[in-house]
Amino acid sequence: MYNVIQLFAKYGAHILFIILEVVCFALIINYNKTQKDIFLNSSNVFAAKLSEQQNKILQFTNLKAQNDSLMRENATLIENIITSEYLTDKIPAADSLLNQYTLIPTIISSTTIHKRNNYLTLNKGYREGIRSDMGVIASHKGIVGIVRNISENYSQVISLLHSQTKISCAIKNRMGHGSLVWKNMDPLRMTLESIPKHETIAIGDTVITSGYSTMFPKGILVGKIETYNVIPGSNSYNITVKLFNDLTNIKYAYVIQNRFAAEQATLEKEVANE
Amino acid sequence: MNSAIPTNVFRFVFIFLVQVMVFKQVTFSLGGLAYIHFIIYPLAILLMPIKTPRGVLLLSAFVMGLALDMFYDSVGIHAATLVFTAYIRNIVIALLEPYDGYNMSDVPTIKNLGIGWVVSYLSITLLIHIFVYFSIEAFSYVFFFEIFLNTIFSFIVSFIVILVAQFIIQTKY
């Protein structure tokens, strides 16, 4: 007993400290909701924070898969836009579940921009249904080129930035159509030729695809009119078009599959042979 | 020594009232990043005479803490923190002991022990106090960053207030 009293006399303050702290913590845990919750499942709070961080890191590892699925989604959305451009003036197809145009999402595996004749290579080819003379677009805004050669798994595309490029284009809400060519080695600007000079046009007008060819459906946005003039003695405008898409840094492209391309081509060939 | 008791009791009550009537109202948040609390009540314990028995320190800290908790609706948090501060007070005093030791009747004031001693004594104890306070409030070191920010900002504002008070109010005991 004496020992206990002596012990208490010597360490009384420390024991008192411990007792008081225990009392305080008992009070804290019993009467404060937050602390009680944390005390009861503090491991859960820690685990939740940890798994949140883990998720953040792991998200990077499947970015590629996510990109692929986003591209497929985009393809569907652009198909819908193209279809809706037609809804007003088109007899429904025999099988309305199948659109006339389907998009094949691809990744651009190589590209040049600084030569006079530029080409791109896509990472999909014959096996995925790509054929030559199909159009290639970057999104609803902006065309990329036309498929030229295909192999089993790759396809070569004539870029817009090519001296032979000639794409049938029109100006939105105006009459007339002309062809888009690349003359001036500027990867952001192209020239629209043979719009008759009696048509009214204005700077800032939107240039769209005309839909006369089998490659591009009508209404894909190409660019804006930057400047225009009439070359003396000529009968048509010389229009500089600022492209919507920047071909120098595109990574993804969609190949347009036109279900009726062969039909239209055959018909037009018959006419030509007469 | 006897006249020290009424002075300390009066200071104890005065600091308590100032804390709950004035500084409790000016708690504000800094752009949602950190909460600034003016925490001046540890002064009541820190300014007690140096040779005050530890038991008295601990018990008065406990009483003060519980009383504050009633006003702050945080049962036990202030009490636990203040009891801890009262416990480490003597350790800090021992660490800062001048070459010729303390006088029996010394109270930790600028006049008795010099400004350097008071600044280091109050800043060390107050920083520990505020850090412990926010740790117990958060109750989990998952929130370490928040605890850290709150501690830094609250320490700065509280320490300014406390130090100014040392110049304005100078007691004999």
> What is the ipTM, given to two decimal places?
0.79
> Which stretch of DSSP H or E encloses residue A40?
helix A33-40
Task: Provide residues of A within 8 Å CB-CB of chain B.
Answer: 12-13, 16-17, 20-21, 23-28, 30-32, 34-35, 38-39, 42, 45-46, 49
Residues A224 and A209 in one domain: yes
* Closest CB to A46 among B74, B139, B142: B142
Best residue in A27, A34, A36, A49 for a mutation probing chain B (most B CBs within 10 Å): A27
User: What digits encode the pLDDT tens for the residues B27-40?
Assistant: 776 666 667 888 88
The burial of A131, by beta-carbon neighbours within 10 Å (0-12 exposed, 13-18 middle, 19 or more buried), is given as middle
Out of A30, A61, A92, a domain closes at A61
Quickly state the pLDDT bin for B3 (edges 50, 70, 90).
confident
Q: What is the pLDDT of residues B87-138, one digit of tens each?
A: 998 888 888 887 777 776 677 878 778 888 888 989 999 999 999 998 888 8
| B35 falls within a domain | yes
The Cα angle at residue A244 between residues A242 and A245, in degrees rounded to 5: 115
pLDDT range class, residue A224, cuts 50, 70, 90: very high
pLDDT on residue A73: 78
Give the count of domains, chain B: 1
For chain B, the maximum distance between any two Cα atoms, rounded to a whole number of angstroms, is 49
pLDDT at position A136 is: 92
pLDDT score recorded for residue A37: 66
pLDDT, mean over chain A: 81
Q: Are residues A100 and A153 in the same domain?
A: yes
Among the listed residues B17, B13, B40, the one whose alpha carbon sits nearest the alpha carbon of residue B27: B40
B57: closest CA of chain A, how far (Å): 9
Residue A216 to residue A142: CA distance in whole angstroms = 11
pLDDT higher than 80, residue A103:
yes
**Can you say whether the dihedral through the CA atoms of B74, B80, B86, B89 is positive or negative?**
negative
Put simply, the answer to whether B53 touches A13 (Cβ < 8 Å) is yes
- Residues belonging to chain B with any Cβ–Cβ distance to chain A shorter than 8 Å: 53-55, 58-59, 61-62, 65, 69, 74-77, 79-80, 83-84, 87, 136, 139-140, 142
Q: Which domain holds residue A73?
A: 68-162+248-260
* Domain count within chain A: 3
Last residue of a domain, one of A45, A61, A77: A61
User: pLDDT tens digits for A2-18?
Assistant: 777 777 777 777 888 88
pLDDT tens digits for B132-159?
998 888 877 767 787 888 888 889 988 9
For residue B143, what is the domain's CATH number? 1.10.1760
Domain contains B173: no
Phi, psi values for residue A102, rounded to 5°:
-120, 145
Out of A27, A28, A49, the one facing B142 most closely (by C-beta) is A49
Q: Which of B59, B79, B139 sits opposite A24 (nearest CB)?
A: B79
Band the pLDDT of A82: cuts 50, 70, 90: confident
C-beta atoms of B140 and A16 within 8 A: no
Give the residue on A whose Cα is nearest the Cα of B65. A24
**In this structure, is residue B90 part of a structural domain?**
yes
Q: For A156-166, what is the mean pLDDT?
A: 88
* pLDDT tens by residue, A21-33: 888 888 888 777 7
Q: Look at residue A267 and tell me if it is in a domain.
A: no
Contacts of B75 in chain A (CB under 8 A): 27-28, 30-32
- Sign of the torsion formed by the C-alpha atoms of B29, B34, B36 and B37: positive
Domain of residue B151: give its range: 4-168
Q: What is the largest CA-CA distance in chain A?
A: 128
Q: Are B128 and A20 in contact (CB under 8 A)?
A: no
Query: How sure is the predictor about B172, in pLDDT bands with cuts at 50, 70 and 90?
Result: low
Cβ–Cβ below 8 Å for A27 and B76: yes
Higher pLDDT, A91 or A146: A146
Instruction: Kindly state whether residues A93 and A222 are assigned to the same domain.
Output: no
Distance CA B82, CA B68 (A): 10
CB contact under 8 A, A16 and B55: yes
Mean pLDDT within A214-221: 85
Residue A265 counted as domain residue = no
* Confidence band for A46, pLDDT divided at 50, 70 and 90: low
